[in-house]
Amino acid sequence: MSTENIRIAIQKSGRLSEDSLKLFKECGIKFEAHGSKLRSVSSNFPIEFLFLRDDDIPGYVEDGVADLGVIGLNVLMEQKRKVEIVKELGFSKCRLSLAIPRNEVYTDLSYFNGKSIATSYPNLTDSFLKANGVKAETHEISGSVEIAPSIGLADGICDIVSTGGTLLSNGLKEVAEVFQSQAVLISNKQLSKSKKDLLDKIIFRIDAVQKGQNAKYVVLNASEENIPKIIALLPGMRSPSVVPLAEKGWFSLHSVISENDFWEIIESLRVAGAEGILVLPIEKMIL
Ligand code: PRT
Ligand code: ZN
């Protein structure tokens, strides 16, 4: 049996770290991740974790120092590294946006013609401006981009926004979205056959975790005459299980539905006679 470990780089500490660790733990991969550790080998899966600064991850994966990595799409696209994007991971969602001082009158993107824009993402910003026919000057700065307009360093900024709180507290307003980002799993372009097989196993587990996150296990009680109406409302995996209760004429109905669907149909379920509705999380789901 091959003992070659697959190596994955994840962020040591920052906005990607916690969810990255959680994802691999939910995939049943055991490993230690202490603050000071730079490397950790799993005790139950042939995988080795490297804990790095996020900016270094795409380069390490491109060079093959790491086989896989978890990185924000914003950083990956800015760096233009030659790696494979294997999977969107659905966490660390944010957007790269253009913002200007709150009291400025904004019309459309032509506002930025002849203006200066401070950003840590010069490549993404420039290609967006170019695609939209705007001639502005971008100034690359590495941190505290949001203070640039107030100190006279630039007319506007192009920075990562999540809640919008940082822009607000710096007297800025978001005027255009440049790029939408989330964490992605990336891979080196030339994985060996044995590492590809390991990656397939990891993807299979991530899929099961992700499907489980969106789905809920719903249990409800209903009397016999209401069962057909309720079944018609439930979009379950197949048809729901109907289990008789001790009380004659009553049944328990079990089904799997997506959380969004559930909130849409809850009222109709109650009107149709559903009682004692329980909604349970699903840890993993394999279809
Ligand atoms: O130390 P290291 O280099 O590893 O980390 P870092 O400081 O470079 O990155 P980190 O941990 O801050 O972010 C890692 C990744 O998280 C980013 O590349 C994005 O993909 C993603 N992400 C998600 C965010 C945010 N949300 C976010 N809100 N990255 C940064 N921010 C910052 C933003 O720069 C701005 O200063 O938060 C502020 C805005 O937040 P709101 O909520 O006030 O809008
Ligand atoms: Zn960084």
Confidence class for position 141, pLDDT limits 50, 70, 90: very high
| Domain assignment of residue 246, yes or no | yes
Asked if pLDDT for residue 235 goes beyond 90, the answer is no
| Domain assignment of residue 165, yes or no | yes
Report how far ligand 1's centroid is from the alpha carbon of 15 (Å): 6
Q: Do residue 195 and residue 239 come from a single domain?
A: no
Comparing CA positions, the residue from 27, 78, 37, 36 lying closest to residue 57 is 78
The total number of structural domains that make up the chain: 3
Q: Is the CB of 163 under 6 A from ligand 1?
A: yes
Using the 3D structure, point to which of 167, 191, 212 is the last residue of a domain.
212
pLDDT of residue 236: 62
Amino acid 50 reads: L
Residue 223: CATH number of its domain = 3.30.70.120
Using the 3D structure, point to which of 158, 181, 204 is the last residue of a domain.
181
Q: Do residue 130 and residue 71 come from a single domain?
A: no
User: Which has the minimum average pLDDT: 2-16, 186-200, 232-246?
Assistant: 232-246
**Residue 15 Cα: closest atom of ligand 1:** 11
Confidence class for position 54, pLDDT limits 50, 70, 90: very high
Asked if pLDDT for residue 1 goes beyond 70, the answer is no
Enclosing domain of residue 225:
215-281
Comparing CA positions, the residue from 186, 188, 151 lying closest to residue 172 is 151
**Residue 181 Cα: closest atom of ligand 1:** 20
Mean pLDDT to the nearest integer, 122-135: 98
Residue 152 region by backbone torsions, left for phi larger than 0, else alpha for psi between -120 and 50, else beta: left
Q: Give burial (CB, 10 Å; 0-12/13-18/19+) of 200.
A: exposed
| Domain assignment of residue 287, yes or no | no
Could you say which ligand is closest to the alpha carbon of residue 17? 1
Asked if pLDDT for residue 179 goes beyond 60, the answer is yes
Residue 168: CATH number of its domain = 3.40.190.10
Model pLDDT for residues 22-39, shown as the tens digit of each residue: 999 999 999 998 778 899
| Domain assignment of residue 84, yes or no | yes
Asked if pLDDT for residue 159 goes beyond 60, the answer is yes
Report how far ligand 1's centroid is from the alpha carbon of 83 (Å): 22
Would you report the helix, strand and coil content of the chain in percent, each value rounded to 5?
A: 35, 30, 35
pLDDT of residue 3: 67
Q: Is the CB of 143 under 6 A from ligand 1?
A: no
